């Protein structure tokens, strides 16, 4: 059984040739076989992400009200069109958090002689957010309007949910202005704008930039998941789930849910996963779905076990089941807490000495987490060097069950999203040979390159599952990249810089500054 292997993010959704080879060798030898590729091998064989060229036109009235969008998306699929569907997902999510009455878009996936491109933490949704959020900032500049005000004027309002966009996607719930207000307050937005104005008045060589991004994303693909809950000898429970953790904290979250439903100590719950000999059913861990769908399945099975236990407890206590309530550690007669019985006694009196329930929870639709990010950067106009000073992330994933796990997902997502904005790029020479095939040439941030993250949450529950939960695994990645990009362009906007493509390397920023300088004459 594979242990927690970590580092999923989409690349491990694919079936690689080595998987077949390992299985064939293991079968022939009758022994376990381990395959471990080198980092260099991984860089040229594992699927990569993003790789879109986007063209967008945004129409608006002079007061900032959006009236339409036209977008063209060209996606590089590499040598094999594994992720050819992703432009379609990007097209679906083009409206973002805004009311846009008309959208015309086209998407094309093309095959090239590079490493294949496939889903990567967000899979089409970060691309859509990057497109609309850059366009909103450019529109605000054109209208001479604060980018925050432009966003406020076009947000989908809380009373408009469920909301179906013109691209055919139905958002379940949201309060976009609330998350934006929270992010702006934490960042001290007005004070930052004041400091920026003072620096510009002094003609400082190091410019301050403030970037804002608001996003919505889609989670809970494959809307069903298996779980089984069994409580047996000594009142200890076993939870079996069809999802597979790779460092996500599933064991903690699912044990918490079972513990709360059954009324037994957390440490009395064992979570079983990843072993098809014990759990032969399951849809998998992908698309930020595990807690809301898998967790809801655990919750439903645990509640069903409680109902079975109530029937047994009622017989032992010689009362009607409607007069029995679940209490910590077992059951008691309503209004007579001294007449109680523990789970150990209940299971001992049950057939087989345990109570078990299993099944699949089916969610009737996708959920749509959202949030707002604020990035603060300094840009050295002499060298093009970008320094990220602060990053504020307010992400709404519905009802939060474990704040520490949510914050961990936020931190990890921020690291990846910021890396995409400032560092990561896969490069090839004219012959199609990779030139970023090692970590010596592929730029990634270290802890020294990242600020202390400032994270918070709003909670807007969904009614699509009993937990009220939405996904969180991809949210911070989606919101952070355009926030940083907007911040860098904002820092240099008074010098004539309108846009800079990702990643925002020192050379690319320096070249944008020199081009703007030439345009100014």
Given a contact cutoff of 8 angstroms between Cβ atoms, the answer to whether 387 and 506 are in contact is no
**Rounded to whole angstroms, what are the CA distances from 309 to 7, 249, 263, 346, 357?**
40, 28, 12, 6, 11
pLDDT of residue 9: 86
**Torsion sign, CA atoms 400, 403, 409, 411:** positive
Q: Mean pLDDT score of the chain, rounded to an integer?
A: 95
User: What is the secondary structure of 292-309 as a DSSP string?
Assistant: IIIIHHHHHHHHHHHHHH
User: How many Cα atoms occupy the beta-carbon half-sphere of 147 within 13 Å?
Assistant: 28
* pLDDT at residue number 88: 96
Per-residue confidence (pLDDT) for residue 33, from 0 to 100: 94
Does 276 score more than 90 pLDDT? no
Q: How big is the CA angle at 420 (ends 494 and 107), to the nearest 5 degrees? A: 90
Summarised one tens digit per residue, pLDDT across range 479-500 is: 999 999 999 999 999 999 999 9
Sheet with 269-272, edge to edge strand ranges: 269-272, 237-241, 224-231, 355-362
pLDDT of residue 431: 86
Query: 141 pLDDT exceeds 80?
Result: yes
Q: What is the pLDDT of residue 284?
A: 87
What CATH architecture applies to the domain 224-362? 2-Layer Sandwich (3.30)
Quick one: pLDDT band at residue 2, thresholds 50, 70, 90?
A: low
- As a whole number, mean pLDDT of residues 79-99 equals 95
| Whole-number pLDDT of residue 367 | 98
Reply yes or no on whether the pLDDT at 246 is more than 90.
no
47-51, 103-107, 196-200, 383-387: range with lowest mean pLDDT:
47-51
CB within 8 Å of 188: residues ≥ 6 apart: none
Expressed in angstroms, the distance from the first to the final Cα of the chain is 66
Ramachandran region, residue 7 (left: φ > 0; alpha: ψ -120 to 50; beta: rest): left
* Residue 35 predicted with pLDDT over 80: yes
User: CA geometry: angle at 174 spanning 169 and 175, to 5°?
Assistant: 140
Q: What's the pLDDT score for residue 11?
A: 83
**Chain center to CA of 447:** 21
Phi-psi region of 78 (alpha: psi -120 to 50; beta: other; left: phi over 0): left
| Largest Cα–Cα separation, the chain | 93
Decide whether 52-219+366-520 matches 224-362 in CATH topology: yes
| Residues 148-188 pLDDT 10s | 999 999 999 999 999 999 999 999 999 999 999 999 999 99
Looking at the domain 52-219+366-520, which fold is it? Aldehyde Oxidoreductase; domain 4 (3.30.365)
Query: Domain spans of the chain?
Result: 52-219+366-520, 224-362
Nearest in space to 180 (alpha carbons), one of 213, 157, 210? 213
Identify the H or E element spanning 146.
none
CA 455 to chain centre: 14
Q: What is the pLDDT of residue 227?
A: 98
pLDDT at site 323: 97
Q: What are the pLDDT digits (tens) for 201-231?
A: 999 999 999 999 999 999 998 889 999 999 9
Q: H/E element holding 53?
A: strand 52-60
């Amino acid at each position: 059984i594979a242990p927690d292997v970590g580092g999923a993010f989409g690349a491990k959704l694919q079936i690689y040739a080595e998987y077949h080879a390992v299985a064939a060798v293991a079968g022939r030898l009758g022994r376990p076989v381990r395959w471990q590729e080198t980092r260099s091998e991984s860089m040229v064989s594992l699927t990569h992400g993003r790789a879109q060229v986007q063209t967008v036109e945004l129409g608006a009235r002079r007061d900032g009200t959006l009236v339409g969008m036209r977008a063209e998306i060209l996606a590089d699929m590499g040598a094999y069109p594994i992720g050819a569907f992703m432009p379609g997902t990007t097209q679906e999510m083009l409206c973002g958090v805004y009311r846009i009455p008309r959208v015309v878009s086209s998407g094309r996936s093309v095959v090239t002689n590079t490493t294949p491109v496939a889903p990567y933490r967000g899979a089409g949704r970060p691309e859509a957010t990057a497109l609309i959020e850059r366009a909103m900032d450019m529109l605000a500049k054109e209208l001479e309007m604060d980018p925050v005000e432009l966003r406020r004027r076009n947000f989908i309002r809380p009373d408009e949910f469920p909301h179906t966009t013109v691209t055919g996607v139905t958002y379940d719930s949201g309060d976009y202005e609330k998350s934006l207000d929270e992010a702006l307050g934490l960042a001290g937005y007005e004070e930052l704008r004041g400091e920026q104005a003072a620096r510009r008045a002094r003609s400082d060589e190091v410019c301050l930039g403030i970037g804002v991004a608001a996003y919505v994303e889609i989670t809970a693909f494959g809307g069903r998941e298996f779980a089984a809950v069994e409580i047996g000898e000594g009142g200890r429970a076993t939870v079996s789930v069809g999802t597979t953790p790779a460092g996500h904290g599933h064991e903690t979250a699912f044990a918490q849910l079972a513990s709360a439903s059954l009324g037994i100590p957390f440490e009395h719950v064992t979570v079983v996963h990843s072993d098809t000999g014990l759990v032969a059913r399951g849809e998998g861990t992908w698309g930020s779905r595990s807690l809301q769908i898998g967790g809801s399945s655990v919750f439903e099975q645990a509640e069903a076990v409680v109902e079975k236990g109530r029937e047994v407890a009622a017989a032992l206590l010689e009362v009607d089941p409607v007069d029995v309530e679940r209490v910590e550690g077992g059951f008691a007669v309503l209004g007579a807490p001294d007449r109680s019985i523990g789970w150990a006694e209940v299971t001992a009196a049950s057939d087989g000495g345990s109570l078990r329930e299993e099944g699949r929870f089916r969610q009737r639709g996708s959920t749509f987490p959202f949030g707002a990010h604020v990035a603060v950067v300094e840009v050295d106009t002499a060298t093009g060097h970008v320094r990220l000073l602060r990053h504020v992330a307010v992400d709404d994933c519905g009802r939060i069950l474990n704040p520490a796990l949510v914050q961990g997902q936020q931190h990890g997502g921020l690291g990846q999203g910021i890396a995409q904005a400032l560092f990561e790029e896969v490069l090839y020479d004219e012959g199609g040979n990779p030139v970023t095939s090692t970590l010596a040439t592929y730029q990634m941030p270290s802890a020294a390159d990242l600020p202390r993250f400032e994270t918070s949450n709003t909670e807007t529950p969904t009614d699509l599952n009993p937990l009220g939960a939405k996904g969180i695994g991809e949210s911070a990645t989606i919101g952070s990249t355009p926030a940083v990009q907007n911040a860098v362009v904002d820092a240099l906007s008074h010098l004539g810089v309108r846009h800079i493509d990702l990643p925002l390397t020192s050379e690319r920023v320096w070249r944008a500054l020199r081009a703007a300088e030439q345009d100014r004459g």
